[in-house]
Structure 1
Amino acid sequence: MSAPPGLPSPDELLKKAEEYLKELEKGPWPSHVAEMRKTGYPLHVYGVGLVARKSPWGPSVVKTKRLTGVLARIARDWVPGGGEEVHFRVFNTPGKFYPTDYLRKLIKISRELGIGLIEAVGQTGAIVINVKGKDVADKMIDALREIGTDVGGSGDAIRELNACVGPALCEFALYDTLHWFVEFRKDKRIHDAITVPGLPYKFKIKFSGCPMDCARANRADLGFIGVWKGAPEVDQELLRKKIENKEVDVHELVAGCPAKAITWDETKKELIIDGSRCKKSMNCIRKAFPAIKPGKERRVAVVVGGGSKGRYGPKLGWFIGYLKPDEVKKAIDLTFKVIEPWDKEAPAKNRLGDYILMEGLYKFIEKAGIDLEDTPRIIEKLPDNVPYRVLPEEERKKYADFAEKIKQVVKV
């Protein structure tokens, strides 16, 4: 690959790269460059990339005896001195809780077979451990398996699972995200789909305990989000005390509801929430907890097709129904129902959300055989003169009412 135009000679380029790196070490805050100097990372390649304002890395390949999906990069030919970087995505712990003995074992492996660099909390959910080189890749895999973990989640596979801390630390958790994480991980079908790529593209599964969505489940190919049905619970007496103590501004509380589902009865001094309109934003709960709490009828909302990248751009997941908090086994089976039509029909490098956009949500639901509580349905029979064959009854009625309003305006 040719060098970007305007770069200095190789010696000058390395000198300039070092100037950039030293600049990043200045200041009272911790410096990622200073920490990376303590490891075996080819830092000069990173510095050259900063100078060139272009990625200095090109793709490389690592072959292992029993595994695929290990990631490797090699410095492009215009980078002086070259360099190689190999890393594994390693299974994480539920909620990213690390027992100290387990963490010590990971560090020992990283120092002996790696370069002493670990990314413990990656956005995808995995731990990332850098390897000394291709020749020790198999040794590191064996060492990681000996301490009870494994390598996987790279390439066109199910990526490493990601869960929020759930009931371990959060009072808002509406189902046990950590238990769901463990049950998914224990399933052999899930394990095999993480360790060996075989899907049209990557597939992310995330568990968020409540609608605040700390695990970003609404941006996953398959997300499970704790919710409740109906209105939040309101402790009117406690809420009145909070209002009197100026801990809560009730008018701000009412105005902040995105669904306009909240009203304040000034005479009775009571807060009224219309459960049929509540969108579960948790704005009122965050501002007035524990005077306002999630409702007791708990559910796990299932969303599909989310992602920050894709052929058609970023998108949030589509709701396809509810599960109950104890239906984790059903959720695992549902995972493969969701994957099946996408795996059979989607072109390579199309995320699940891209496939759903091409097929239509209701056709996808039908192909996958999804049958959950409150799964969106296409109405079975429509009048012959209505062309909305792919719309559910509620949505069709909205369009019909809108058309009638336009007709009235035109008549006037």
Structure 2
Amino acid sequence: MAAPPNLPPPDKLLEMADQYLKELEKGPWPSHVAEMRKTGYPLHVYGVGLVARKSPWGPSVVKTKRLTGVLARIARDWVPKGGEEVHFRVFHTPGRFLPTSYLRGIIKVAREYGIGLVEVVGQTGAMVINVKSKEVGDAMIEALRQIGTDVGGSGDAIRELNTCVGPALCEFALYDTLKWFTEFRKDKKIQDAIAVPGFPYKFKIKFSGCPMDCGRANRADLGFIGTWKGAPEVDQELLRRKIEAGEVDPNDLVSKCAGGAISWDAEKKELRIDGSRCKKCMYCIRRAYPAIKPGRERRVAVVVGGGSKGRYGPKLGWFVGYLKPDEAQKGIELAFKIIEPWDKEAQAKVRLGDYILMAGLYQFIEKAGIQLEDTPRLIEKVPDNVPYRVLPEEERKKYAQFAEELRREVGI
């Protein structure tokens, strides 16, 4: 990467970087810079990046044996004094519940083999321990395994799994995300796919207990999101008390319902929800809980192809059907069905979502052999003169209706 234009001389650049860092230590709130000064992190590189408004890090490598979770970066040649940053991606506990004994062990490893810096919450789903490059070896791996974890989750493989806190802390959890996480983690095929990169690109699996999607499952290559069938349950008497107390505005629920499914009978003081129109956005549930709750018939929606980056930009996952809350093993089998056509046909560095865009969603469903409840299907019999024969029947009717309305409007 070329140096940013109009950079000051090296000495001046370091001076400005130090001023930026000191500014970030001011104020009554905790400062990440103040905490990082306590470690061996090359803080001046971070400061130079702030001054230049450009990443000061470039890719690097570090020699490892049989490991996929070790990443290295080196300061670019325009950064005075240089520096390196090496880190291990370490497996998390389900829901990121950290027993004190476990956390003490992680801190001990970080201090003995690293620079004393641990990133507990990150976008990768993994815990990150910054290490000294000379300490990357079997001794550190053994120390991590002694406290019940391991290194992994990098390269063109299944990355570290990610889940919300699920039923352990959240009243909205509609299936046991922590159990699913554990079932996936202990499966040998999943572990092998994490440890040995062999796919066209990275593959992320995430679990969210409800449609609020705290686990960001809709942004994963394969996501599992808790939901329900039909309309939410309404406790009319409790809802009336909440309305009378000013806690809930029924007109607000009606106006902000994403599917237009809610109606309010002011005379009877009853709220009705049309399950066929409910989009499961949970706005009414969040506003009026527990007077309004998710329906009792729970399901796990399966979405594929999501991701914040890709050749065609960020995208949310496509829905491909439902599993039951006790079908974690079927979820594991489904993961490898989904991976198979992508692994065979996709070019290197093509995410699953980009491959689906190229192949077509319904063709991908057919290739992967996905057979779940409510899986979208290609229509079987369509007249030859219909140009959009690959669409499902429901979508085809919508387009036909739109075309007819447009024809009437323009008078043809």
Q: Which bin holds the TM-score, normalised by the shorter protein?
A: over 0.9
Q: Residue 345 and residue 258 in structure 1: after superposition, are their counterparts in 2 closer, same or farther (change >3 A)? A: same
Distance 2:236 2:8 in 1: 70
Distance 1:287 1:4 in 2: 49
Distance 1:321 1:134 in 2: 48
SS in 2 for 1:190: helix
Residues 114 and 135 of structure 2 are in contact (CA less than 8 Å); yes or no, is this contact kept in structure 1?
Answer: no
Report what 2:186 is aligned to.
Answer: 186
Distance 2:139 2:84 in 1: 18
Residues 64 and 136 of structure 2 are in contact (CA less than 8 Å); yes or no, is this contact kept in structure 1?
Answer: no
TM-score normalized by the length of structure 2: 0.97
Distance 1:102 1:238 in 2: 43
AA aligned opposite 1:385: N
Q: How does 1:232-247 map to 2 (within 5 A)?
A: 232-247=232-247
Give the drift of 1:407.
3.0
Deviations 1:136-184 (A, max 9, x none): 3432222112222111111211111110000000000000000000000
266-275 vs 138-147, which moves further: 138-147
Residues 114 and 132 of structure 1 are in contact (CA less than 8 Å); yes or no, is this contact kept in structure 2?
Answer: yes
Unaligned runs of 5+ in 2: none
Report what 1:217 is aligned to.
Answer: 217
Unaligned runs of 5+ in 1: none
Give the drift of 1:2.
4.9
TM-score normalized by the length of structure 1: 0.97
Deviations 1:21-65 (A, max 9, x none): 111111111111110000010111111212222211111112212
AA aligned opposite 2:362: Y
AA aligned opposite 1:253: L
Give the drift of 1:135.
4.1
Residues 223 and 303 of structure 1 are in contact (CA less than 8 Å); yes or no, is this contact kept in structure 2?
Answer: yes
Residues 131 and 137 of structure 1 are in contact (CA less than 8 Å); yes or no, is this contact kept in structure 2?
Answer: no
Distance 2:126 2:52 in 1: 30
Residues 67 and 195 of structure 2 are in contact (CA less than 8 Å); yes or no, is this contact kept in structure 1?
Answer: yes
SS in 1 for 2:295: coil
When the two structures are aligned, how many residues end up with a matched partner?
412
181-190 vs 21-30, which moves further: 21-30
Report what 2:326 is aligned to.
Answer: 326
Report what 1:399 is aligned to.
Answer: 399
Identity %: 81
135-144 vs 309-318, which moves further: 135-144
- Asked whether 1:71 is paired with 2:71, we answer yes
- Asked whether 1:281 is paired with 2:281, we answer yes
Report what 1:110 is aligned to.
Answer: 110
Report what 2:367 is aligned to.
Answer: 367
Distance 2:67 2:253 in 1: 53
Distance 1:136 1:231 in 2: 54
Residues 207 and 225 of structure 2 are in contact (CA less than 8 Å); yes or no, is this contact kept in structure 1?
Answer: yes
Give the drift of 1:409.
3.3
AA aligned opposite 1:121: V
Give the drift of 1:400.
1.4
Residues 227 and 298 of structure 2 are in contact (CA less than 8 Å); yes or no, is this contact kept in structure 1?
Answer: yes
SS in 1 for 2:129: strand
AA aligned opposite 2:336: F
Report what 1:131 is aligned to.
Answer: 131
Distance 1:260 1:372 in 2: 28
Distance 2:157 2:317 in 1: 19
Residues 152 and 194 of structure 1 are in contact (CA less than 8 Å); yes or no, is this contact kept in structure 2?
Answer: yes
Q: Residue 9 and residue 261 in structure 1: after superposition, are their counterparts in 2 closer, same or farther (change >3 A)? A: same
- Asked whether 1:165 is paired with 2:185, we answer no
SS in 2 for 1:290: coil
Q: How does 1:259-338 map to 2 (within 5 A)?
A: 259-338=259-338
Aligned-pair Cα RMSD in Å: 1.3
Report what 1:41 is aligned to.
Answer: 41
